[in-house]
Amino acid sequence: MPAAGRNSFEEARPLSRPPFHGPREECGIFGIYGHPEAAKLTYFGLYALQHRGQESAGIVVSDGRAVRGHKAMGLVSEVFDEPTLAGLSGHLAVGHVRYSTTGSSVVQNAQPFCVTHSGCTLAVAHNGNLVNARSIRRELEDKGSIFQTTMDSEIIVHLLAKAAHRGQDEAIRAAMACIQGAYSVVMLSEDRLIGFRDPRGFRPLVLGRMNGGAYVLASETCALDLIQARYVRDIEPGEVVVIDAKGLRSFQGAEAESRALCIFEFIYFARPDSNIFGQNVYGVRKALGAALAREARVSADFVMPFPDSGNYAAVGFAQESGLPLELAVIRNHYVGRTFIQPSQSMRDFSVRIKLNPARDVIRGKRVVIVEDSIVRGTTSRTRVRAMREAGAKEITMVVSCPPIRHPCFYGIDFADPHELIAAQKDVEEIRRYLELDGLHYLGIDAMLRAVGGPGDRFCLACFNGNYPLPVEEGAGKFQLEGRAAP
């Protein structure tokens, strides 16, 4: 760690990013107050949240006086080692794992984002996507603000600094009054940890407490479990919690609005051992699979998932349908982030190196494949072809959510309708494209019953196009002067 200066931050060189074939969500966030090994516990918290972002990782700590940080491109285990964590001394910390949905995939955009203003240092970690970021940024730049990144998250810091003269609580209220969209935020100053959530509650944020009294904020309860913290409650939509030497206090930063909880957290993003929005993810995914079995009554020899995304819906489908469950595709758990690139003749190698069919189980069989979602369709087609090559007699695919026909602007990486196969083709056309004998998607009503409805609790925009918040033009990615952020 650099020693010069009261507050120090270190950025490491970028690492290569692996191919990723499913939908991607912006990030996972973690914060802790009141533990002498705050950095190490944040490391473990981020490790538990790694599924929410694999591009970059960062931790910022404070000992009550000085703020220090380290961030880099790569997985948590690649970015941090024992010497690095030993240099991050302090009793409060925030951490972040990221996949970029707004802003380039570069180390400058790795979080937590840190700034010093009027003698106070803030470190901000944000999960979500602001739908009015472009207009706010333009207004701030017109008034002299200088931005260091292409992230919408940096806008939050500028708004806090702009209203800092009104005190921190009022500055947070002022920032929340300006920004619109999905945001769960944890941030620290030299002596306190703060968390807040957007008024519709798009993204999860939970509060936990350790036996020694330390408070924890995290995207999911699985992060609490790993460090043996007790779940206390969810942070409510529009709520702000402030944790310092006096304990925890809470106030309403923005008036709560009608709920728009992201239903994709249940379908895909959250870990199955987490509780999200008051429900267990494992149980919900099984219920989705059971609902699918009631809708799609398929005659087959067995049911199987493509690991790991379809595993739990497949269990529910098998139990409800009475068909045997087979794990007939084997996942290689030792695939690293980089490997020697194959020749052109080894087509689809990046998919096949991860999953391989058990040919003797599949040969001559009628198979039902359970998937959690189909976004672009290219990976699914490759996998279906591998099943054909393994000798499957008949292949039906069932999907535990409705067709994804509309882009998401609230933190999921499908902001371009041209990338969505269901926006371009109907179900029969998708079936032919995927080279399937049968294809069935779960209906919206059945999905809502499985997750415990009512439907007005959830954001369903990617399925039905009903956006709970208006979206300004170009909200998916920043379009910078002279170049697009990739």
Catalytic residue positions?
Answer: 27
Domain annotation covers residue 480: no
Q: Are residues 201 and 294 in the same domain?
A: no
How large is the average pLDDT for residues 15-29? 55
Domain annotation covers residue 181: yes
Are the C-beta atoms of residues 288 and 447 closer than 8 Å to each other? yes
95 CB neighbour count, 10 Å cutoff: 35
Which residues span the domain enclosing 379? 282-332+347-453
Distance, CA of 324 to chain centre = 32
Domain annotation covers residue 226: yes
Q: Are residues 55 and 88 in the same domain?
A: yes
Q: What is the pLDDT of residue 332?
A: 81
Domain annotation covers residue 477: no
Percent of the chain with pLDDT over 70: 86
Q: Are residues 385 and 249 in the same domain?
A: no
Domain annotation covers residue 186: yes
Domain annotation covers residue 485: no
Q: Are residues 182 and 298 in the same domain?
A: no
Q: What is the pLDDT of residue 338?
A: 46
Separation CA 118–CA 409 (nearest Å): 34
pLDDT in tens, 398-416: 999 999 999 999 988 776 7
- Using DSSP bridges, classify how beta strands 479-480 and 483-484 pair: parallel, antiparallel or unpaired: antiparallel
Number of domains in the chain: 2
Q: What is the pLDDT of residue 473?
A: 66
Q: Are residues 155 and 93 in the same domain?
A: yes
- DSSP structure class, residue 460: -
pLDDT in tens, 369-400: 999 999 999 889 999 999 999 999 999 999 99
Domain annotation covers residue 322: yes
Q: Are residues 244 and 388 in the same domain?
A: no
Q: CA angle, corner 285, sides to 283 and 291, nearest 5? A: 105
Residue 26 pLDDT > 90, yes or no?
Answer: no
pLDDT in tens, 96-111: 998 754 445 567 778 9
Q: Are residues 421 and 289 in the same domain?
A: yes
Q: What is the CATH number of the domain that holds 179?
A: 3.60.20.10
Q: Where is the domain boundary, 260, 292, 321?
A: 260
pLDDT band at 162 (very low <50, low <70, confident <90, very high): confident
Q: What is the CATH number of the domain that holds 310?
A: 3.40.50.2020
Q: Are residues 238 and 307 in the same domain?
A: no
Q: What is the pLDDT of residue 475?
A: 54
Element (H, E) at 136: helix 133-142
Lowest mean pLDDT among 70-79, 204-213, 281-290, 415-424: 415-424
Is 459 annotated in a binding site? The answer is yes
pTM for this prediction: 0.88
233's tokens: 């409650």
Q: Are residues 27 and 118 in the same domain?
A: yes
Q: Are residues 210 and 298 in the same domain?
A: no
Q: Are residues 237 and 317 in the same domain?
A: no
- The single residue listed with the structure tokens 């941030």 is 187
Residue 339 pLDDT > 50, yes or no?
Answer: no
Is 114 annotated in a binding site? The answer is no
- Using DSSP bridges, classify how beta strands 261-262 and 366-371 pair: parallel, antiparallel or unpaired: unpaired
Q: What is the pLDDT of residue 164?
A: 87
Q: Are residues 254 and 108 in the same domain?
A: yes
Nearest residue to 101 (alpha-carbon basis) of 481, 483, 475: 475
Nearest residue to 130 (alpha-carbon basis) of 171, 176, 178, 183: 183
Residue 89 pLDDT > 70, yes or no?
Answer: yes
For residue 454, cis peptide bond before it (omega within 30 degrees of 0): yes
Separation CA 352–CA 364 (nearest Å): 21
